[in-house]
Structure 1
Amino acid sequence: MKLHQLRIVLAVADKGSLRAAARELGISQPAITHSIAELERDLGATLFERNSRGVIPTPAGTAFLQRAAVIVSEARRAREEVAQILGSDQGSVTICLSIAAHLALLPMALPLFQRRYPQVRLRIVEGAFPAHEARLRDGSMDFYIGPAPEPAPAREFAVEALFPNTRAVFARRGHPLAQARSLKDLADAGWITTGITDKAEVELLDTFERYRLPAPRLVLQAESMLSMLLALTSSDLLAMTLRQYDEFPLSRGAIQRIPIKEALPAPPIVIVRRMALPLTPAADYLCDMFRRAAAAYVSERGLDGDMR
């Protein structure tokens, strides 16, 4: 079993066809067919089966692919770790950040990281933990920063609290309800649900129920920050979303916070990473810069950083 064979089966599984995998890897299709056949003989199992749209993994192939992804990721990490220990700043780091982490932490953490590792390629994916749990597990993603997952992730993951968080209600500037002081005053408004967590719609409904108010009228579901901001600025819809929108200059200039009296808690912001996979020096340094940015954020805003 060779490392290049593992890369080939992962590419075939990802692309769903031998031809597409060959283009992706820059090798011939017969070479891919030969490599997979050799690996299948070695394993004594068929890894892929054909269907009308290409190839799909067999049950044995699915199990093998999970292991192969970890091996390939760890091989990359090992090469990069050795190079970085020897003084090179080559390699790559892949992370997932929620909107809160983007707005509150990235502006400080990113320049610090770039000064230390100017040649390391950083890939940032926006999202919530459930959508990227598999990538954190197989090592193709280094860590996640965002709302604490509910329920708590499996014990193979380490969860580190960074700061507590809250929500607020937002509207376009000049909105007729801008001076409202209670959720009750907003009962007739149309609402946007947002992707703060993977349960954003339920959380909005639960908030109204907690304060014994009628269910809000849900009009639009925004899966990105840009969609939500454009919907808010071009309509009379409201959104209950992260307080960080009121702190970030670009968003604060487009929307305004409605100062209602009700408390609107949000999940704390945490780091999640797999305990069994040590980070490369570059990824570990970036994680430390996010910790530093979180400490500064807590200090500047007088937040209680102890969430035990």
Structure 2
Amino acid sequence: MKLHQLSTLAAIADTGSIRAAARSLDLSPAAVTKAMRELEADLQAPLLVRGASGVAFTEFGRALVVHARLVLGQLQRAEAEIEAMRGAAAGKLSIGVTPWVALTFLPPTVQRFRQHMPEVQLEFFEGLLGVVQPRLRDGSLDFSIGRPPPASPQSEFHNVPLFSTHSAVCARRDHPKAGCRTLLELEDAEWVLNWDPASRESISDNLFRKRGMKVPHTIHLAHSLSVVLGLLARTDMVSIFPWPLVEVLIAKENLWALPLRETVDETIVSITSRRGAPTSPAATCFLECLREVVDEGSRSQDPELRRLFHSIELLL
């Protein structure tokens, strides 16, 4: 396998076609096709299925794309590290961020980071596991700040806990169940959650079954916080947010945290990276800026920050 072949394969995956990949690489379609045929011949396996509507990847192709992106990403990180050692820090830093961190600690962290590394381009993704895990796996994401993936002895990810916080059930202020005191009163409610489909069973267990409740008939999943907020504002749906996010949104979005007696869903926010992957100078700098912002915030006299830290427990 040659590097230009892996670059070509990744470009086809990113753009969706041979012609688009050729444009992105400034090559002819014939050159892209030749590179793929040579790669297939080297591996003795079909990677692409060519048809009138374009190309699709075989199972061999899908597997190789993951490794191709990992190799290319690691080479980019190596180049960035050498540049940083030469005093010319540049490149790109890709980060997954859970919404409440994005709305609280992220802006001052970015400002501080930009003072240290103004030439580094930042790229952010909403920190849902379904979004960040594949990108961590293929090396296109440096790290994420959010819920850690399920732990296991053979886990491919490394987690460093940052915060622990509980959550609140939220709805619009004039919701028919705004005065509910127990989760049992919400058995017949319609829920919308900004969580991953893979979390559905753990949600059901943690929130409902362990309390002897029936799992609500309807639990919608939304892969965007703005979608959830829009639905809460104009429907009778309810949702669950970590308390720091509630503190940020409750006044701005006309939301109401139901005065439940129960403790709802403890959330751990961690820094998650691919196990064994070296940390780039840019990533190290960004995480140090984040720790400084959090440390200063925990000692701040600002009322809004005090209210935020009242709802979290620092673990770092």
Shorter-chain TM range is 0.7 to 0.9
Mapped partners of 2:48, 2:234: distance in 1: 49
Cα displacement (A) at 1:296: 5.3
> What is residue 74 of structure 1 aligned with on the other side?
74
> What is residue 236 of structure 2 aligned with on the other side?
236
One-letter identity of the residue aligned with 1:140:
S
Alignment of 1:1-308 (within 5 A): 2-43=2-43, 46-152=46-152, 154-188=154-188, 190-206=189-205, 207-218=207-218, 220-248=220-248, 250-254=249-253, 255-295=255-295, 300=306, 301-302=309-310, 303-306=312-315
CA 31–151 in structure 1, closer or farther in 2 if over 3 Å, else same: same
Mapped partners of 1:150, 1:67: distance in 2: 23
Cα displacement (A) at 1:197: 4.3
Question: Structure 1: where are the runs of 5+ without partners?
Answer: none
Mapped partners of 2:64, 2:214: distance in 1: 51
Give yes or no for contact 1:162–1:294 (8 Å, CA) kept in 2. Answer: no
Once the two structures are superposed, what CA deviation does each residue of 1:45-86 show, in whole Å capped at 9, x if it has no partner?
554342453333445544443332222111111111111222
One-letter identity of the residue aligned with 2:204:
L
Once the two structures are superposed, what CA deviation does each residue of 1:158-207 show, in whole Å capped at 9, x if it has no partner?
1111111211011112334333322234445x332212344454455331
Larger deviation: 292-301 or 117-126?
292-301
Cα displacement (A) at 1:151: 4.6
CA 191–57 in structure 1, closer or farther in 2 if over 3 Å, else same: closer
Question: Structure 2: where are the runs of 5+ without partners?
Answer: 300-305
C-alpha RMSD of matched pairs (Å)? 2.9
Mapped partners of 2:66, 2:39: distance in 1: 15
One-letter identity of the residue aligned with 1:252:
A
Mapped partners of 2:125, 2:222: distance in 1: 17
CA 79–146 in structure 1, closer or farther in 2 if over 3 Å, else same: same
Mapped partners of 1:45, 1:170: distance in 2: 52
Give yes or no for contact 1:193–1:201 (8 Å, CA) kept in 2. Answer: no
> What is residue 302 of structure 2 aligned with on the other side?
none
Identity %: 31
SS of 1:252 mapped into structure 2: coil
SS of 1:119 mapped into structure 2: coil
Mapped partners of 1:48, 1:262: distance in 2: 53
TM-score by length of 1: 0.85
Give yes or no for contact 1:166–1:266 (8 Å, CA) kept in 2. Answer: yes
Give yes or no for contact 1:194–1:200 (8 Å, CA) kept in 2. Answer: no
Give yes or no for contact 2:127–2:145 (8 Å, CA) kept in 1. Answer: no
Cα displacement (A) at 1:147: 1.1
Once the two structures are superposed, what CA deviation does each residue of 1:125-171 show, in whole Å capped at 9, x if it has no partner?
11322443232122111011111222548433211111112110111
Give yes or no for contact 2:172–2:256 (8 Å, CA) kept in 1. Answer: yes
CA 175–33 in structure 1, closer or farther in 2 if over 3 Å, else same: closer
Give yes or no for contact 2:192–2:237 (8 Å, CA) kept in 1. Answer: no
Mapped partners of 1:297, 1:153: distance in 2: 34
Cα displacement (A) at 1:230: 1.2
Cα displacement (A) at 1:269: 0.8
Mapped partners of 1:180, 1:43: distance in 2: 62
Mapped partners of 1:265, 1:104: distance in 2: 21
CA 98–30 in structure 1, closer or farther in 2 if over 3 Å, else same: same
Cα displacement (A) at 1:100: 3.5
SS of 1:196 mapped into structure 2: coil
Give yes or no for contact 2:109–2:289 (8 Å, CA) kept in 1. Answer: yes
TM-score by length of 2: 0.83
Give yes or no for contact 2:197–2:221 (8 Å, CA) kept in 1. Answer: no
Say how many residue pairs are matched: 305
SS of 1:50 mapped into structure 2: strand
One-letter identity of the residue aligned with 2:241:
T
SS of 1:241 mapped into structure 2: strand
Mapped partners of 1:26, 1:150: distance in 2: 41
Cα displacement (A) at 1:40: 4.4
